[in-house]
A and B are shown apart, each in its own frame.
Chain A
Amino acid sequence: MSDYLHIQNIHKDFSGLKVLTGVDFKVREKERHAVIGPNGAGKTTLFNIISGKFKPSSGAILLRGEDISGKPADVLNRHGLSRSFQITNVFQELSVFDNILTGVRSRHGLRYHFFRKPAMNRVLTEKTEAILEKVGLADVKDQPASSLSYGQQRALEIGITLSTEPELILLDEPTAGMTREETEHAIKMIDQVTAGLTLIIIEHDMDVVFSLADTISVLHYGTILVCDAPDKIRCDQRVKDAYLGEG
């Protein structure tokens, strides 16, 4: 059986600065894969490459055997890949509903239409409502995004990520900056909304990682130190060294 996603020997340097030096790991379909690592290990750069923001300097990304590396973000999204951002990246002046609708209508091909208004289509509004329900924002759907609390903004961030009905989701530190309580709530929500999807998540919070992930890859100095089940990672000496050495 071929792997669903194979990150194959990815290198990236920014005008001489080597950020990734041969990242290589595989993700099975419907797996929940966490990428952890100390600050500056290159996690976000890796995400930017997988999601099409940057081109890798070398290496390949095989999605169902097809190399998708270097394809632009909008093409990848239409291939079923969607990502969230570490720093909340929503349309601040738009209502919560319209934020989600923007992704939903894209998924349904209503991107560049000259005559049709997006909000008048029943299928789209129903799908939007469904996503709002899932991420717990149905009550505030008519408010502008800018009026939401931090936790709600993070939920909206995930809602937008889901709005294009992806099968592969990349979440970049979804619980960053949250209180303990909010984090627990967010884990539950992420667990529910990504059921049946393939998930790659970057996280600092080890509780989040260990409660969500099936597999963990440890990124250290631009390369994968180890990739294994959470239990194994917990007692891996190299991982301890990497984190302790950093701290």
Chain B
Amino acid sequence: MVRVLGAVTVVALAAGLVAGLGLAPREATQGNVQRIMYLHVPSVWVAYLAFAVVFVASIAYLAKRAEAADQLAHASAEVGVLFTGLTIATGSIWGKPTWGTWWTWDARLTSVSILFVMYLGYLLLRGMIEDRERGARYAAVLGIVAAFNIPLVHFSVTWWRTLHQPPSLMKPGPGTMPPVIVATLLVNFVAFSLLYAYFVAKRVRLLRREAEATS
């Protein structure tokens, strides 16, 4: 099952790469650099997806006390932090040639980096508690607090300052992007989501084995 998922993921990622590097047209002003968008945007999407899963799984754990929910939250948080890091890294690489700087305290950069440290703290908390049951409970509480905090971080940071280009995909009204780019992005969205599912499935299985081995 997981193996099939892995194979499908590889195919989807390859398709995304071909579409991103071959099919999609060269951007007029930014040139080939713009192609990193096909990694950057799906990474953010997966990061948010992962943290949403952490939130739901945390509530489920506190309600039902099923260890599976806790393992899902743990795995999802790890993968989410990974993809948040990937977002920041690809964003930096994209920002250097286009904005002229690796990093700037722009609204969205800041809010993503706050997410990054928030969930790093979450993983740190998990790592520091030996008692598995208590660790699961505390982490679930933190997962809920952190999720509620996401919109607050978003608004406060947006009011604080903004420089990032406005989102070009989800805004109302007719899209400004040619369909080829949208299609390429969608392929990569699917590929990255599959990759997320694959990572989480692997990690959950590993966590379950660990739990079996220590109990």
Partners in one complex: no
